[in-house]
Structure 1
């Protein structure tokens, strides 16, 4: 342990380091990352949406102004230390990803050793951890300042943290975090149920709007329902809940229009709680960034545009190649929309038999046709009432079904087969396809009027080969499937990022899942762990690229280099190497001998 830990002013640090050691951590080794599954993370982000909204409204602007141009990030966790939001320099975000300081990862002290987030949680107070004060050696390139955020009832809601790539955080950073936390807690204070009257208290009227004033919230009858710690200190009254404001202030506050009034050395202001001071529960709160990418501008733009319109009764049409993640995009969008409590009903129009698609979508009355159920069938459209109907592969929908769908969109009602009585439905339509609908309209294979109804907003998701975050995405998918602490070797990562991936993310996910299972928990995932059907095109693409770009090398030299790399990646396994290169064992032996390898 460092000598500074033993000094009296660092008692808290000594205790934190001791807890880290007792948790079984080793400062020389990076601890295992505890990372939530994406659906669990989205749920936690939704549960903390009012806290996140307060941070975006009050803390992010201050952070952007004070830390503009620096390698810094503003990080928000929930009450268990799971990162649920982050803002700041995107290039620094990639550096922090190397130590898993990213959304979905838990940074409790027992898991990550001494760090501002985890130690602030453990001690439930403001903490600044600078450089070498971090328990884990690999974390010592950063400095962090963090403060816990409490609800009006005293519940620990989360931690707000500023992390920077610098040796020392100044006293200014400490004051900034404390000010941010105070502003956020005051904002949440004004959102308590039954809160109708707000009373600000201070020693000087100049402080009444400073963010550091005492705040008391009362109901319509004047009884206190919440207050902050500053108010308890200023009024010297520890048990304020339930008391009447008159008794507390020793002044009559029967109207909400009362002006500033001195009360001894105190001044106060009483006013009704304005809706503008709160974050309305009905207002949609979106995550600060799309959880489906790691720095791709096209994905982020599509996400932000979709979030702005998903609650505005505007149909969305999502385009993109097969496997780019259109379905996952819609799932995330549903979880962030006002319809999140309603169903998300997905229909693959291309997978349904042509003669059944209408009954599947629109339902039917009992005994409507031969073979129909005696109870009838509700249909996907009515199942999606109060929610979102996702029509995947919409281009494959028959023209007759297109006509009925158009009626649903126009009239907000559906008429089941064999029934004369329409049923009203409240649904949001999201459609998707990998085909060119403009061409299908021109060929008469898709109704033009339906196309114009569906394309209120057209979003195009990029192919995997076009994405700016390809390497980070590959690493994230690999982490999802790895069976032990494992990294992708540099050579394999180069091959994977250069590959054209005709099946996009779906194909990549399958390949990494199989490769992780075949790796036998090796420390490095290598080319030899990939199934042959993908390893061969990766090698051919690499050999072709070298043949085109090599300077001063002929094709024979390039192929020899590839052969040697494959041989070494397979740790000298002749059978695997020959299989990957598509040559016989005898041919491989002969080529290796020519290269001086026996």
Structure 2
């Protein structure tokens, strides 16, 4: 029976391949292509290509070394290796192009586009459409002009599972080798693994396989978790071994997949241990965790050659935040404005800055304007600028407005719902015509920027009330996302650790006591991320030189008093609040006592209290 099944598998693959090619030909026909037409080999201009390369710089940084290795394996086979972005635009190519006619050599150079809409059925374009590895051989190409080629392509997915680009090997059909696709697949996996390692350098990485000799090879599974054990990403081998695709894996945790906690595995970093998967399969696992990256303040001057995605850094385990990041990443680089909603302090400007940092405009300025903080008499000149002598008290040389300052970069209009109606019409004109007329100026100034707006108000309600222009609303509301309040997020602990890493105490590694984390999880956080950041910064400042951990006594008193001031449904009576704080104090003492192995003196020193206080709390 096994032999029969093995014999049927190649035939099944042939059927699948035929279906893929047939569907690709059907799509090519819908694009209006004719099989006998000459291919369009026009390439992008140097400036357009430069912008695309900048947008895909992380992909290129990790793919180019792999492409060089792949080329060494297929050298002298009359083949070209190409790396494209998610649209089929060739970003880089290398290899032997002697199999191409002079007029065709441009076809596989950087700047050429190999989408199905441009070239019909071909490995790159069909891989993008199918999101799967594809070989297109000879006359399987839709355009007859491409029948002399054989192409093998694989999709390259980013750590969130989105299509990042395509790796392709193209050559003369007469020199086709069956092992080419295997080499391309291996190279694609290497690139994806490098992208995961780059994106989650602060995470807890589990490298695993049922056979120990496969750890450290392409066969190993790699799963990355945050410090609370929530899954951030997993490579293809990990998905195969776990039997769960990435979309559903994101709902899993370290405990549900491997039956272990983050703390236990962090303690075993650098070791190889035995773990059991959720399906009962035993595996060998190598645990990787860089405590210096996870808990120390990074240098603001040292920037790696290929910085990881700032948007991906916001994914610390909360499904809502991950969904927001995935949606935003799909419109970056496109002329689509973004509108961010959410409560005050929820991180709207933080998200806007991450979008800018991941955009093709990252080298340009990020200009933020809080429309609610500027007096109505000044907001017009602040936004649009003014010419020399435009009004009494104006600067002699005039002033450049915020909109012009954002040219080539990103304009972030925070609290746009507070913009006066008269100025809304002027902003609408700027967005429609892409020119700014400073006050008193004789001519307009052209501008080009990415627009991100934010508001803690419901702009739809303002439109209905007549306080916000409906036409402007539809201009700024291209993609709308709403940040969750901190109390609704499932990744509070990971957020705490990240904020401590960024805003730590004089570069020291700062930890946080379990009782404090438990208290944080019970708090309503009316000020959201802004409040949490301030609490951690103040608590860090309260640490003595020998302290490395934030404990209850380091927390600001006004923060603790908020529990007494909670709304009635949260604190029915003063006595209930007092009891809750008492419970927290007892829990803190119990947790510290357990940590110090029952040593009361060590516990008292750690908490900064007397031994009598420890005994009293334990009796209560």
Give TM-score, length-normalised by structure 1.
Answer: 0.51
User: 1-side partners of 2:206 and 2:361: how far apart?
Assistant: 26
Q: Deviation at 1:369?
A: 0.6
1:375 is matched with which residue? 397
User: 1-side partners of 2:223 and 2:56: how far apart?
Assistant: 26
Q: Structure 1 residue 535 and structure 2 residue 560: aligned? A: yes
- Equivalent positions of 1:406-417 (< 5 A) are 406-417=428-439
Q: Deviation at 1:49?
A: 3.5
Q: Deviation at 1:536?
A: 3.0
C-alpha spacing 1:139/1:60, structure 2 compared with 1 (3 Å) = farther
1:385 to 387, 399, 407: 407
Q: Structure 1 residue 511 and structure 2 residue 531: aligned? A: no
1:467 is matched with which residue? 489
2:425 is matched with which residue? 403
Q: Structure 1 residue 479 and structure 2 residue 610: aligned? A: no
User: 2-side partners of 1:431 and 1:556: how far apart?
Assistant: 43
Q: Structure 1 residue 50 and structure 2 residue 50: aligned? A: no
User: Cα deviation per residue 1:226-284 (whole Å; 9 max; x = unaligned)?
Assistant: xxxxxxxxxxxxxxxxxxxxxxxxxxxxxxxxxxxxxxxxxxxxxxxxxxxxxxxxxxx
C-alpha spacing 1:85/1:362, structure 2 compared with 1 (3 Å) = farther
Is the 8 Å Cα contact of residues 415 and 423 (structure 1) preserved in structure 2? yes
Q: Deviation at 1:471?
A: 1.5
Q: Deviation at 1:135?
A: 13
Larger radius of gyration between Structure 1 and Structure 2: 1
C-alpha spacing 1:511/1:569, structure 2 compared with 1 (3 Å) = farther
Q: Structure 1 residue 94 and structure 2 residue 238: aligned? A: no
User: 2-side partners of 1:416 and 1:62: how far apart?
Assistant: 44
Q: Deviation at 1:432?
A: 0.6
2:520 is matched with which residue? 496
Q: Deviation at 1:392?
A: 0.8
C-alpha spacing 1:60/1:535, structure 2 compared with 1 (3 Å) = same
Is the 8 Å Cα contact of residues 63 and 74 (structure 1) preserved in structure 2? no
Q: Deviation at 1:306?
A: 1.9
Is the 8 Å Cα contact of residues 413 and 422 (structure 1) preserved in structure 2? yes
C-alpha spacing 1:337/1:424, structure 2 compared with 1 (3 Å) = same
User: Cα deviation per residue 1:469-500 (whole Å; 9 max; x = unaligned)?
Assistant: 11111122123344444422221111112211
Q: Deviation at 1:381?
A: 1.1
C-alpha spacing 1:378/1:596, structure 2 compared with 1 (3 Å) = closer
C-alpha spacing 1:99/1:409, structure 2 compared with 1 (3 Å) = closer
- Equivalent positions of 1:338-377 (< 5 A) are 338-377=360-399
User: Cα deviation per residue 1:128-182 (whole Å; 9 max; x = unaligned)?
Assistant: xxxxxx9985432569xxxxxxxxxxxxxxxxxxxx993279xxxxxxxxxxxxx
SS at match of 2:283: coil
User: Cα deviation per residue 1:18-50 (whole Å; 9 max; x = unaligned)?
Assistant: xxxxxxxxxxxxxxxxxxxxxxxxxx9986441
User: 2-side partners of 1:142 and 1:101: how far apart?
Assistant: 21
User: 2-side partners of 1:84 and 1:556: how far apart?
Assistant: 38
2:128 is matched with which residue? none
C-alpha spacing 1:296/1:91, structure 2 compared with 1 (3 Å) = farther
C-alpha spacing 1:296/1:535, structure 2 compared with 1 (3 Å) = same
Is the 8 Å Cα contact of residues 324 and 463 (structure 1) preserved in structure 2? yes
User: 2-side partners of 1:293 and 1:400: how far apart?
Assistant: 39
User: 1-side partners of 2:616 and 2:159: how far apart?
Assistant: 66
1:246 is matched with which residue? none
Q: Deviation at 1:594?
A: 11
User: 2-side partners of 1:87 and 1:593: how far apart?
Assistant: 43
Q: Deviation at 1:334?
A: 1.0
C-alpha spacing 1:86/1:140, structure 2 compared with 1 (3 Å) = closer
Q: Which moved more, 1:48-57 or 1:451-460?
A: 48-57
Q: Which moved more, 1:539-548 or 1:353-362?
A: 539-548
1:139 is matched with which residue? 270
User: 2-side partners of 1:302 and 1:99: how far apart?
Assistant: 17
C-alpha spacing 1:451/1:429, structure 2 compared with 1 (3 Å) = same
Is the 8 Å Cα contact of residues 232 and 315 (structure 2) preserved in structure 1? no
- Equivalent positions of 1:209-358 (< 5 A) are 287=309, 290-358=312-380
Q: Deviation at 1:332?
A: 1.3
Gaps of 5+ in 2: 1-53, 67-84, 86-153, 162-181, 187-191, 209-220, 235-264, 275-280, 287-306, 593-602
- Equivalent positions of 1:187-202 (< 5 A) are none
Q: Deviation at 1:88?
A: 10
Q: Deviation at 1:325?
A: 1.1
C-alpha spacing 1:85/1:138, structure 2 compared with 1 (3 Å) = closer
Is the 8 Å Cα contact of residues 58 and 308 (structure 2) preserved in structure 1? no
Is the 8 Å Cα contact of residues 205 and 222 (structure 2) preserved in structure 1? no
User: Cα deviation per residue 1:34-87 (whole Å; 9 max; x = unaligned)?
Assistant: xxxxxxxxxx998644134678966659999999xxxxx9454889x9679999
Is the 8 Å Cα contact of residues 311 and 337 (structure 1) preserved in structure 2? yes
User: 1-side partners of 2:469 and 2:386: how far apart?
Assistant: 24
C-alpha spacing 1:362/1:88, structure 2 compared with 1 (3 Å) = farther
Is the 8 Å Cα contact of residues 340 and 480 (structure 2) preserved in structure 1? yes
Q: Deviation at 1:99?
A: 14
C-alpha spacing 1:94/1:429, structure 2 compared with 1 (3 Å) = same
C-alpha spacing 1:49/1:403, structure 2 compared with 1 (3 Å) = same
C-alpha spacing 1:488/1:412, structure 2 compared with 1 (3 Å) = same
User: 1-side partners of 2:456 and 2:516: how far apart?
Assistant: 29
Q: Which moved more, 1:303-312 or 1:407-416?
A: 303-312
User: 2-side partners of 1:83 and 1:594: how far apart?
Assistant: 37
Q: Deviation at 1:467?
A: 1.3
